[in-house]
Structure 1
Amino acid sequence: MRIAFVGKGGSGKTTLSALFSRHLARSGAPVLAVDGDINQHLAEALGHDGELPAAPPLGAHLNAVKDHLRGTNPRIASAEAMIKTTPPGRGSRLLTLLGDDELHTRHVRHVGDVPLMVTGEFEESDLGVACYHSKLGGVELYLNHLVDGPGEYVVVDMTAGADAFASGLFTRFDLTFLVAEPTRKGVSVYRQYRDHAREFGIRIAVVGNKVTGEDDLLFLKEEVGDDLLTHLVHSPFVRAVEQGRAQGGPESLEPHNRHALNILREAVDACPRDWATLHRHAVEFHLRNARAWAGEDLAAQVDPDFVPGPASLL
């Protein structure tokens, strides 16, 4: 299952991404956490302190990622011809979660018991000449070519706010958790995300965060309605993690917050995977690029007879 965490900057989406990833990993489930935020803090939220183990970010090696994924697909002449929305087709090199392949071997590092992949920071050399979403292209390509199975999880910490809609990446998930604080600013991103998500049939669920009492919870219920799935209360454990003095994993989390993580997993596990719809969204955004980029024959990269899924691995 593919899960995105989105929300206003400072809402706690990175913290929730880390807590949920560790919760899954501690249960023994195969999980990959992906830092897709312009502020690369997921490793710290996972509890890492100091220098990270060497593993190159996806954004710094996009051509190599493209060259690996295009495989022998005759519709893609070169890595340079491939763009972030290029969907897989016959001959493409498909991936299994944390498989023994070049991409996972090169780009995955372990932070505690959680495998982590990062897009890379927006660097000074990018200022004025690059868009951060070009780095996120590696995540979009990865998800387009991933054939994940039941009981496997990819958890992506997305860019803050409605900026997540700057690419088609927001359609790559089975369920999107929108983290909202009990404030007017906290729920404003929810309204933007709700309206865009409805247009594409994207499943969203709101997770209230930093709830301190009944008034906060009532506010969220009034503003969000039935989209409110659960909420987390103020957490001394999370604060200790953020200050680098926490001991233990999610089992040290407060009982209410542990229960909230269980609710998140139950919601994810209840979502049926629809390979045809996932692929249709990928093709749709690719064709949008084909129409927008005059002179580029991108539409020819679409294999009309291909739908990813377990059968495609054969």
Structure 2
Amino acid sequence: MRVGVAGKGGSGKTTIAATMARHLARSGFSVNALDGDPNPNLAIAVGVPPDEADRFRRIPPEEMEERPNGDGASMHFRQPFEKIVSEYGAVGPDGVRVLTMTGLLGAGKGCICGQHSTVRGVVAGLGEERPDDVTILDTEASLEHLSRGTVRHVESLVVVVEPYYRAMETMKRTVPLARELGIPQIWAIANKVRSAEDSAAIRDYCERLDIELLATVPFDDAVVVADRNRRSLIDHDPTAAATVAIMGAADRIGGHRSSVGA
């Protein structure tokens, strides 16, 4: 199963994606965590040491190839996936395989359009070659991954939304684009919720958009402290209210995967 995590910048996508990846791995799933943000932070949030994460390299398009099949063509890796992980990323805590997919080429060096194609190919290739894995793609803080079809090959999209108007407006713009791409399952996770009013506002917005609210994650200082100390949330405080709520969301995703197959 391939899951994209989207939302407004600063909504908490990376923390949620990383914590779900760790918890699903602890629950027995084979997990890949892909950082699709050109300002990558997922590896540290998963628990990869910062000095090791700094050595990650983005996967070049030459590592992917199209091969003919009965339906036309499908994407595949040119070498074993484990070798790609060792060359470009790392195996993190609990066996989570972490890869950085995009990165800026330098100031004034132009767009990263081609990298979106590589991300799309890697996600498609994992579906072809490792269909039993759970792959979590942490997307960039914009709608470009939807307009360019970068998340075209995910089966589920989780939209992280804060209880603020601009964050909910971002969700409103995200959902129809995801539906245009034909993504079968769209969920929302309410994050940084401080009150019943916050929760009700997001729930009402989800009902209007006809999407399911997967979990409500409370505002939690443990998230701030973990980030400040460059630690994964699940390692910093596995019993924190935010950690427990995110793990609950991951359990629902894992249960959904089991009910529909890989």
TM-score when scaled to structure 1?
A: 0.70
Structure-2 change in CA distance of 1:201 and 1:240 (3 Å): same
Shift of 1:255: 4.5
Q: Does residue 1:249 correspond to 2:235, yes or no?
A: yes
How far apart are the structure 2 equivalents of 1:50 and 1:256?
23
Letter in 1 for 2:103: E
Closer, same or farther: CA 101–10 of 1 in aligned 2, 3 Å:
closer
**1:149-160 correspondence runs (5 A):** 149-150=131-132, 152-160=133-141
Greater Rg by CA: 1
8 Å contact kept, 1:47–1:241 = no
In the alignment, structure 1 segments of 5+ residues that lack a partner are 76-85, 275-314
CA root-mean-square deviation = 2.8
The reply on whether 1:208 has 2:193 as its aligned counterpart is no
SS at match of 1:185: helix
Match of 2:120 in 1: 140
Q: Which aligned pairs between 1:226-237 and structure 2 lie closer than 5 A?
A: 227=211, 228-237=213-222
Match of 2:251 in 1: 265
Partners of 2:82 and 2:235 in 1: CA distance: 29
Alpha carbons 1:233, 1:257 under 8 Å: kept:
no
Which segment is superposed worse, 4-13 or 229-238?
229-238
C-alpha distance in 1 between matches for 2:3 and 2:104: 23
In the TM superposition, residue 250 of structure 1 has moved relative to its aligned partner by 7.3
- Deviation (angstroms), 1:6: 0.3
Residue type at the aligned position of 2:165: R
| 1:200 positional shift | 3.5
User: Are the structure 2 counterparts of residues 2 and 163 from structure 1 closer, same or farther at C-alpha, using a change threshold of 3 Å?
Assistant: same
Distance of aligned partners of 1:175 and 1:192 in 2 relative to their CA distance in 1, 3 Å threshold: same
Structure 1 contact 250–258 (Cα < 8 Å) conserved = no
Q: Is 1:177 the equivalent of 2:158?
A: yes
Name the amino acid aligned to 1:62. P
| Post-superposition CA distance 1:123-167 (Å, at most 9, x none) | 315x353x22322322211122223233x2111100113222232
How many angstroms does 1:178 deviate by?
0.2
Which shifted more, 240-249 or 208-217? 240-249
Aligned in 2, Cα 1:57/1:93: closer, same or farther, shift over 3 Å?
closer
Structure 1 or 2: more strand by fraction: 2
Distance 1:145 1:256, change over 3 A: closer
Gaps of 5+ in 2: none
Whether the aligned pair in 1 keeps the contact of 2:226 and 2:236 (CA below 8 Å) is: no
Is the contact between residue 3 and residue 177 of structure 1 (CA under 8 Å) also seen in structure 2? yes
Is the counterpart of residue 42 in structure 1 residue 23 in structure 2?
no
SS at match of 1:124: coil
Alignment length, in residue pairs? 249
Determine the C-alpha separation between the residues in 2 that align with 1:122 and 1:186.
Answer: 25
Letter in structure 2 aligned against 1:254: A
Q: Counterparts of 1:269 and 1:171 in 2: how far apart (Å)?
A: 22
1:17-56 alignment runs, 5 A limit: 17-52=17-52, 54-56=55-57
Preserved CA contact (<8 Å) 1:42 1:157: yes
Q: Is the 8 A contact 1:23 1:250 kept in 2?
A: no
After TM superposition, which residue ranges in structure 1, 4 or more long, deviate above 6 angstroms? none
- 1:111 CA displacement: 3.2
How many angstroms apart in 2 are the aligned matches of 1:267 and 1:204? 11
